[in-house]
Structure 1
Amino acid sequence: MPSTASTSSSNGTRPAGETSEARIAKALAHPLRARILQRLGERVASPGDLAVELGAPLGVVSYHVRMLRDYDCVELVRTEPRRGALQHFYKATARPTLDEGQWRTLPSGLRGELAGETIQELVTDLAAAADEGALEDPEVVLARTPLELDEKAFKKLNKLLAKTQEQVHAIAAESAARGTDGVFATELGLLHFKRAGNDS
């Protein structure tokens, strides 16, 4: 039978008073760690599961999962015996999100990779929902709004979307506090970007 556990390993070398945002920034500083944290934010998984899904060596994935645990970004939720070994299953304890300033500190290549993966996952989930007819629900919200903005307006809109994201998580927390009866999975995607051709 699977055993359950809940641990949060702290790294004794981490600076005292380090914020959760700083830990997430460090977690996202490596592309593979960022991908692992993103997956563990969606579901519980073992390093073995993640290695297969991400096409990375098990030893490397296990190392980065331990790093995420030391950053208090993931926690062990259960162990299961499998093929003569004990498999460890983790989930994310921190949302892999950064504010504008922290996002800017990431290498440009990593920002592009994270953006590409997020968009691809959104497209995949949209396709699955469409196949099930979920997009025919009259309560679905769908909008596309091309804009022409100056830099000040662009940043102002970004701040508004950041506040909206905070409110989204607050609403989700309220729902969780009411219990699991009648709960169903939904997904919200927020995109605001400078369109191609602005330099031409």
Structure 2
Amino acid sequence: MPTTRDAADPRIHKALSHPIRVEILRALDDGLASAVEVSRATGHPLGQVSYHFNQLAQLGLIELRKTTPRRGALERHYGLIETAPTAAADWRKLTKTARRNEANTVLGEVADQIAGALKDGGFDSSDSHARLEDLKLDARGRRDAAKEVTALVKRLRAIEKESAKRAKDKPDDLAQWAVAVLQYGSRGA
């Protein structure tokens, strides 16, 4: 089995071809997780989530890292194999089907979070923001915009880490915020 993963690898296409597997990989981006934890977080039936954990393990993308005794059974916690792709695998190398599946999963999560935020007053704060920019870009402009989106996401993760450091003494200062960043062709683009 190869020790590195390329987004053109057929195993990665298979991993990203099902929305539940994409959700599992995303959960494992943040560290270890079990099928039970992912099932609770996503609302998918435990049997389906366990099946997809097994598929990802057979594909060589995740591995068992620890077990926790739970009422006479063992809860298995998995982690990404260090060279495994994450949900942010090189988009251009993915098949159209894999890109559409990933977009479908992300957009479903975004829609759910936005609906919850609207219901719970999440846009009431002056720190909230909603904006849509409709741009006309050539091929180079689209590539440059994609690089800027990637840089923005990296910077947001750095801001999150800085916030966590500042909040060590005041954990109540931390609030859950979501940033949805989309770049896509519209109106037949």
TM-score, normalization by structure 1: 0.69
The residue type equivalent to 1:85 in the other structure is A
The 3-state SS of whatever aligns with 1:116 is helix
Aligned residue type for 2:140: K
Paired residue type of 2:88: T
Partner of 1:137: 125
Change (3 A) 1:24 1:125: farther
Alignment-mate amino acid for residue 126 of structure 2: P
Per-residue deviation, 1:46: 2.5
- Distance in 2 (CA, whole Å) between partners of 1:148 and 1:58 is 41
Aligned partner of 1:119 in structure 2 is 107
Q: From the superposition, tell whether residues 162 and 178 of structure 1 become closer, same or farther in structure 2 (CA, over 3 Å).
A: same
2:156 maps to amino acid: V
CA contact (8 A) 1:75 1:92 kept: no
Structure 1: which 5+ runs fail to align? Answer: 1-12
Q: Which residue of 2 aligns with 1:79?
A: 68
2:175 equivalent in structure 1: 184
Deviation at 1:25, TM superposition (A): 7.6
- AA aligned to 1:139 is D
CA-to-aligned-CA distance 1:42-87 (integer Å, 9 cap, x gap): 797522454684456465234135358x54x6774662414x3212
Residue number in structure 1 paired with 2:147: 159
Match for 1:128 among 116, 127, 133?
A: 116
Whichever residue aligns with residue 105 of structure 2, its letter is E
Query: Compared with structure 1, are the counterparts of its residues 193 and 51 closer, same or farther at alpha carbon in structure 2 (3 Å cutoff)?
Result: same
Q: Does 1:194 align with 2:185?
A: yes
> Is 1:148 matched with 2:136?
yes
From the superposition, tell whether residues 57 and 139 of structure 1 become closer, same or farther in structure 2 (CA, over 3 Å): closer
SS at match of 1:135: coil
Alignment of 1:82-97 (within 5 A): 82=71, 84-90=72-78, 96-97=87-88
- The 5-angstrom pairing of residues 93-108 of structure 1 reads 96-98=87-89, 102-108=90-96
> Identity, % of aligned pairs?
20
Tell me the distance in 2 between the aligned counterparts of 1:85 and 1:162.
42
The equivalences for 1:35-74 within 5 A come to 35-41=23-29, 45-48=33-36, 50=38, 53-55=43-45, 57=48, 60-64=51-55, 66=57, 71=61
Gap runs ≥5 in structure 2? none
Give SS of 2:148's match: helix
Query: TM-score, normalising length from structure 2?
Result: 0.73
Preserved contact between residue 75 and residue 91 of structure 1 (Cα < 8 Å): yes
**Which letter maps to 2:179?**
L
Q: CA deviation at 1:119?
A: 0.7
- Once the 2 structures are TM-superposed, how far is the Cα of residue 176 of structure 1 from its aligned partner? 2.6
Aligned counterparts of 1:25 and 1:175: Cα–Cα separation in 2: 36
Letter in 2 for 1:125: Q
Once the two structures are TM-superposed, the CA of residue 152 in structure 1 deviates from its matched residue by 2.1
